[in-house]
Amino acid sequence: KAGVTQTPRYLIKTRGQQVTLSCSPISGHRSVSWYQQTPGQGLQFLFEYFSETQRNKGNFPGRFSGRQFSNSRSEMNVSTLELGDSALYLCASSYPTGARGRLSKATTDTQYFGPGTRLTVL
Amino acid sequence: AQKITQTQPGMFVQEKEAVTLDCTYDTSDPSYGLFWYKQPSSGEMIFLIYQGSYDQQNATEGRYSLNFQKARKSANLVISASQLGDSAMYFCAMREGYNTNAGKSTFGDGTTLTVKP
């Protein structure tokens, strides 16, 4: 089974520009979460999407937005880039919580991460 | 208060020896999951092991085992027979309150493990 993929892997932008990052989840996973990782703040939750709806959002300004498509692929957008937005952006996919049946709780609860997109803002 | 605490910023271990990475957590939710991830210098977050709050036995996955002490709210990762390829950053994470915290894992600050030959 293919893992979570993220494109592009590296991006260099200048302040004021906007950027769009893409994430394709593991086949069958319908929940996609985004995280920002910086040396100073560690890993911080941005938002989560399921069935094209944002279900949860972290404490980030409105410049950070996202969406999910009907095939569960997700994009996140950062507008009016600031120097502090330089970070590794990680996408994670999982089965939606509550998806049971034959699936174990370990299987449904675990988030699997992509390789990340490293964004540098100059 | 931090929900996940990893008190060891850096650890060293000799190749082929075992090492324990500490993790304590804080939650009032009776249902939660605890995870360990490995992050090599390449940046990808690799899932290692899961422990559910209702699991009676400690989780094991190959050379990884999780020492789960629920009353102490600790979930330490034990890596047996360390290999040079184990050198990486290790993160402890928790998912809780599934209905109100959809899709959110809370991470500790990580422990950098260096395996010496």
| pLDDT, tens digit, 9 for 90 and up, residues B18-27 | 999 999 999 9
B38 touches A at CB < 8 Å: no
Over residues B79-86, the mean pLDDT reads 97
Over residues A4-21, the mean pLDDT reads 97
Residues 6+ apart with CB under 8 A from A117: A6, A7, A8, A9, A10, A11, A21, A88, A89
Q: Distances from the Cα of B38 to the Cαs of A101, A115, B43, B93, in angstroms? A: 29, 12, 9, 11
Taking contacts as CB-CB distances below 8 angstroms, the residues of chain A near B112 are none
Residue B46 has pLDDT above 90, yes or no: yes
Q: Do A115 and B98 touch (CB under 8 A)?
A: no
Residue B7 has pLDDT above 90, yes or no: yes
Over residues A19-46, the mean pLDDT reads 95
Q: Residue A59 is which amino acid?
A: N
pLDDT of residue B1: 60
Percentage of residues in chain A having pLDDT higher than 90: 83
pLDDT of residue B101: 75
Residue A103 has pLDDT above 90, yes or no: no
- State the pLDDT confidence band at B13, using cuts at 50, 70 and 90: very high
A89 touches B at CB < 8 Å: no
Closest CA to A109 of B91, B106, B52: B52
Distance from CA of B64 to the nearest CA of A (A): 15
Closest-CA residue of B relative to A107 is B50
Residue B100 has pLDDT above 80, yes or no: no
Q: Say if residue B107 is exposed, middle or buried (CB neighbours under 10 Å; 0-12, 13-18, 19+).
A: buried
Residue A98 has pLDDT above 60, yes or no: no
For chain A, percent helix, then strand, then coil, each to nearest 5? 5, 50, 45
